[in-house]
A and B are shown apart, each in its own frame.
Chain A
Amino acid sequence: MKDKVDVLIIGSGASGAAVAWSLAETRMRILCLEQGDWMKQSDFPSNGRDYEARLFSDYATSPNIRQLPSDYPINDDNSPIKIVNFNAVGGSTVMYTAHYPRLHPSDFRVRSLDGVADDWPIDYATLEPFFAENDRMTGVAGLAGDPAYPPHQLPMPPLPLGKSGAKIGATMNKLGWHWWPSDSAVATTEYGGRAPCINLGHCTPACAQGAKASTDITYWPHAIRAGVELRTNCRVREITTGNDGMATGAVYYDSDGVAQFQPAEVVIMACNGIGTPRLLLHSASGRFPNGLANSSGLVGKNLMLHPWAQVIGYVEDQMDRHGPPLCLWSQEFYETDRSRGFLRGFNFQFVRTANVGNEAVQAEANGVLPWGEAHHDAFRSMVGHRLQISICPEDLPEVHNRVTLDPALTDGHNIPAPKIDYTIGENTNRMLDFAVDRAKDILAAAGARNVCVVRPMLYAGWHLLGTARMGHDPDRSVVNAWGRSHDVKNMFIVDGSIFVTSGGVNPTSTIQALALYIADSIKQRLATLFD
């Protein structure tokens, strides 16, 4: 048996890294178990000529395609949106596009404001200092003064507008609609030992320059220097509990495939909105027959995914041919306006370009790039001429959207795979109708042709939220207002599972601010943590 640790963190991604770093100052013995390994920047796709093809093999966004030893399969057959993630030190921050908006103040009060879903037990003001701390630790580029948000300062200047951003900006001005440079977790100057962005243009499948913030190069070096132990290639099978109903530790498979028991005083789950409910459900016992921390029956339920859509067009002017894909957002339609026929809202993201090979693949799949003699003229009118608008709609919680354990499919350690049952909600579909029409308006105003709509994006289940929601009422939530399980007093959840609602923006910034807030709550209550 291993030596007992004070805090056992499961998962080293966005939230696990943040909570580890924050708790390190307590000098407690902290151990993090990660099922993947450290990544090497020299192995990242943008080092090689085959960089675009690797998006469809070992750097595919879907673990079902990637099938690396660190991955576990996910049965997402019963979902129009496929789950994507990455399993390594840094988790899915290794493979994300670093778009870094915060939730808005209204996102925490949707029941009070709009009569749907539930309010969060905390608010924007509670998280504000942790957003700022996380921006500093992560290294976020952006521009203060956005009228769509409460004031906040970013540590670095924004990504360049480029030709594409200027075209979008001028178009949005013509329409009188909001736009602003995105908060981006990309270094635009030297920052904390990271080199600035040199516009590799291939941000999602890991950044060879190290300009994109992933927690393996942001939080983890600091946490390890402060004494946190990070044990890689260790896949947790279950959380164990004692007769008193408290967590006693975890059983995991080490890098040799040998089952090990790691005892702990406190267990912190940081495995994302799929991995956490999977593990809790697989930790059922006589005392917890429906899964750990599941007296509410809500573990795995209320899965929210953000059903993305894309609207793409091509303009005559030369646009950027390279560069970080995301550069601008619009929050014009973010807040509720009942006259639009739906509640809540969405965020537009303006995408700069696609690299040449993937431009061809996407245009062909969208039916605007012909086969045969006409191919060359058509492609030359597209490559370097793209404007793309991605739509991130708020996805409301619905109890039938859920994660369960698959009865047949297992991972390499014979642990049941998660099974996803998900449908796009009626409100979300009405929102997407409206959003797609507004995106077409923008492209029409920009003079775009060959406009095509992708709805929903198939491999776009990035944002895994809501499957162990926070709240005051133990009958209607899994964890309390500071992330502690209602049922298991020494177990915390810090990942996207605890979101009550999804907002209409990428969640990583908020996930990490929440993790820092929960770590701070733990530190404030050390003497009475289990009361």
Chain B
Amino acid sequence: MDMRTLTEAQIEDLRCLAGLIIPASAKYGVPGADDDRIFSDIVGSIARDLGHVRTALGTLRALAGGSFAALDAPRRAAVAATLRAEGGWPVRVLTRIVLLCYYRDDRVMASLGLEARPPFPKGHAVEQGDWSLLDPVRDRAPFWRSVS
């Protein structure tokens, strides 16, 4: 895991927050966003947005009054809710990184019934659909506004 971009304490808080945003689910058989592989992807994806991520984690630490990861579960949930409500754009950026990394993990994609692959070159099938639905519109008189 590349930890050069954040401090150990920030990494610890980020991992804890990621797992709170998306916890593991036994029901769906998926890991949380704090899973080793997913979290490694998250940490490896923040370089471009490092300033926003640091700001968000700074806000998190301030709201927690210290280490977020060290709080008990109810307090973490309360602090995270405040962060989400009041953290502004930096928290949006951090959350976006967590979500995009989570929803490209092979295990998560499989649980959603999606193939873990890029769109190209295979593409996807889209059914034509029922074009007879358009018949009432075809029967409508032209209604564009004449200017003559």
Residues of A within 8 A of B (CB): 44, 46-53, 56-57, 104-106, 108-109, 112-113, 123-124, 143, 145, 147-150, 160-163, 165-166, 169-170, 172-173, 178-181, 198-202, 208-209, 320-324, 331, 334-336, 352, 355-358, 360-361, 364-365, 371-373, 375-376, 380, 383
Contact = CB atoms under 8 A, between A and B. Distances in A.
A364 B124 contact: no
Given A51-B119, A163-B129, A147 B143 contact: yes
The listed residue with most A CB atoms (<10 A of its CB), out of B22, B102, B109, B129, is B129
Given A106-B145, A169-B133, A357-B104, A372 B23 contact: yes
B11 interface: no
Contact of A371 (B84, B118, B129, B131): B84
Interface string B112-133: 1010111111111111111101
A209 B125 contact: no
A365 B119 contact: no
B147 A166 contact: no
Q: Is the interface of A mostly helix, strand, loop or mixed?
A: loop
Given A160-B128, A166-B133, A200-B124, A150 B118 contact: no
B1 interface: no
B23 to A, nearest CB: 6
B80 A364 contact: no
Contacts of A180: 134, 137
A50 B103 CA distance: 10
Contacts of B116: 49
B124 A160 contact: no
Nearest to A167: B129
Contacts of A373: 23
Contacts, number: 180
Which of B23, B49, B128, B137 is most buried by chain A, counting CB atoms within 10 A of its CB? B137
A49 B116 CA distance: 8
A49 B129 contact: no
B104 A50 contact: yes
Contact of B124 (A57, A123, A198): A198
Contacts of A150: 142, 144
Contact of A162 (B21, B117, B126, B138): B126
A151 B94 CA distance: 49
A195 to B, nearest CB: 10
Contacts of A202: 119
Given A47-B118, A198-B124, 17 more contacts: A49-B118, A51-B119, A56-B48, A149-B144, A161-B127, A172-B137, A173-B137, A199-B126, A200-B120, A200-B123, A208-B120, A209-B121, A357-B104, A371-B21, A371-B81, A372-B20, A376-B28
Contacts of A112: 147
A372 B21 contact: yes
Contact of B104 (A49, A173, A179, A334): A49
Interface residues of B, number: 57
Given A53-B45, A53-B100, A371-B21, A160 B126 contact: yes
Contacts of A356: 103, 109, 112, 114
11 contacts: A50-B104, A52-B103, A161-B131, A161-B133, A163-B127, A199-B123, A320-B126, A321-B114, A357-B103, A365-B96, A373-B23
Contacts of B23: 372-373, 375
A336 B144 CA distance: 11
Contacts of A148: 142-144
Contacts of A181: 134
Contacts of A383: 112
B20 A106 contact: no
Contact of B141 (A147, A173, A352, A380): A147
Contact of A322 (B97, B101, B126, B141): B126
Contacts of A47: 118, 120
Contacts of B114: 321, 356
Q: Which 10 A-B pairs have the closest CB atoms?
A: A161-B129, A198-B123, A322-B124, A200-B119, A208-B120, A169-B133, A106-B145, A323-B126, A166-B129, A360-B99
Contacts of B143: 147-148, 178, 335
B36 to A, nearest CB: 18
B73 to A, nearest CB: 10
A209 B92 CA distance: 32
B148 to A, nearest CB: 8
Interface string B6-19: 00000000000000
Contacts of A173: 133, 136-137
A335 to B, nearest CB: 5
Nearest to B122: A198
Q: B23, B81, B109: which has the most chain A beta carbons within 10 Å? A: B23
Given A105-B146, A200-B119, A371-B21, A357 B130 contact: no
B28 A209 contact: no
Nearest to A345: B145
